[in-house]
Amino acid sequence: MKPNPHLFIVIFIGVALVFPLIPLALAWLWRRIFQPPKPGPQKNSIYECGVESLGEAQIQFRSQYYLYAIIFLIFDVEAIFLIPFAVAFTGLPVGAFIAILVFLLLLIEGLIWAWSKGCLQWER
C-alpha cells in the first residue's frame, strides 16, 4: 500500500511545531522553577542607549519642505528624462514629442514658481 503523498507535509508541520515549542516550554519551566522575572520601568523602557527619551516620537515636519521636493524634481529627476529624450530626438513621433513637451512645461512652470518665490536665492 502506498502512503498518502501528503503524509510528509503533515509530518513536516508536526516537526515544525514541536521543534520551537520544546525550547519555549523549557524556558517557561525554567522561569517557573528557578528564575523569577524581574521587570522594572527602566528595564522595560523602549529606548536602550542609556539616555532618557525626551518629548514625543510623533513629530510633524514643516510643510515648507515641499519646496525642496519641487527643486529636486526639476534639477534631478527631469535630467534623467531629458537625456533619453535628447538621444532619441530625431526619431521621435509627433505624439511622443508633444508628450515630453507637456512634461517639460509642467516642470518649467514649477521652476518659474520656485524662482518667483525666491527659493533659488543663495542665503548668506
Partner 1 sequence: MSEGIDEGLRRELQQQGVWVSSMQELYNWGRKNSIWPLQFGLACCAIEMIATAASRYDIARFGGEVFRPSPRQADLMIVAGTVTKKMAPQIVRLYNQMADPKYVIAMGACAISGGPFKQGYNVLKGIDRYIPVDVFIPGCPPRPEALLHAFMELQRKIDEQKLSGANKAAHLDQEQPSEFPVPSFGKHDLEPPANSNVFHPPAIERA
23 binds partner 1 (CB under 8 A): no
Q: Smaller CB distance to partner 1: residue 43 or 62?
A: 43
50 binds partner 1 (CB under 8 A): yes
51 binds partner 1 (CB under 8 A): yes
Among 3, 5, 40, 91, binds partner 1 (CB under 8 A): 40
What radius of gyration, in Å, describes the C-alpha atoms of the chain? 32
Q: What is the contact surface with partner 1 in residues (CB under 8 A)?
A: 34-36, 38, 40-43, 45, 48-52
